[in-house]
Amino acid sequence: MRQHAIPRALLVGLMLAALPAIAQAPAAPVHAYRAVYSLWNGDRQVGRSEFSVEHDRARQRYRFTSSSEFDGLLRWLTPRPVIETSEFIVDGGEIKPLSFSYEDGSRRGRRNLKVEFDWGAAVAVITRAGESSRAPLPAGALDRGSARVALMRDLARDRHDGRYRLADPDVIREYTYVTEGRELLTTPLGELAAVKVVQQRESSSRRTVFWAAPELHYLPIRIEQLREDRAPVAFALESVEWLDTP
């Protein structure tokens, strides 16, 4: 099988945002956890990732963090961890991001950025390379980190199909997600039943597939990014630790 290096942009693309469906549904808790995934390019393991959610009870804020490190040639190209951090609150039962930061893992960090969400002015303030810009911020928009939490909550309250809205630094991208039944996956934690969710942007050939386990509060136990003429990029769950019970 032909192997391909993982572009950093492709890794970033795995962190997508979910726009909850319009219909009202009971609130679902935000679970704090720490999960470790192996990172695969085709049938070759190329690194490891850790995703976590922490709750600052004093400030009533949450933080989602993802950190990915690579092996072999990819480690030479990306010597430092690729880190994404999202701070958010739960407002009116829905997730509202406050800030997002991205470290590209390179030596110079040319693609590093920080986004501040000014909901009062309905703008996102983007800072990179020492310069700031502003972009319109529509209601309900999420960033890549808070979106992962939103997806788990939406599945827990039976929001299985809907629309996605990603507040990327320069543009708002909308996605649809559709559930395609359940599958049984073999993991280091044993066999787990999972809801298969396919996410795709209109007019794009790229698809992201999540397998979310109800037994684990709909934590994704596998994530695959599928693109034409490229080996699939996948995260496979190795372990999870629940940090509290909201």
- The answer to whether residues 169 and 135 touch, using CB atoms and an 8 Å cutoff, is yes
pTM (two decimals): 0.84
pLDDT on residue 26: 54
Residue 190 has pLDDT above 90, yes or no: yes
Q: What residues does 206 pair with on adjacent strands?
A: none
| CATH number, position 178 | 2.50.20
233 domain residue, yes or no: yes
Q: What is the pLDDT of residue 169?
A: 63
In a domain, 189, yes or no: yes
The C-alpha atoms of residue 22 and residue 2 are separated, in whole angstroms, by 43
Structural domain includes residue 1: no
Integer Cα distance of 30 and 85 in angstroms: 16
The pLDDT tens digits for 29-66 are 899 999 999 999 999 999 999 999 999 999 999 999 99
Q: Confirm whether 126 is domain-assigned.
A: yes
Lowest mean pLDDT among 6-10, 20-24, 101-105: 20-24
Short-list 86, 97, 75, 53, CA closest to 8: 75
Q: Domain for residue 246, yes or no?
A: no
Amino acid at 20: P
Q: Which domain holds residue 106?
A: 8-240
**How far apart are the C-alpha atoms of 71 and 201, rounded to whole Å?**
30
User: How many structural domains comprise the chain?
Assistant: 1
**Domain for residue 3, yes or no?**
no
40 in a structural domain = yes
2 belongs to a structural domain: no
| Rounded-to-integer distance, Cα 227 and Cα 230, Å | 6
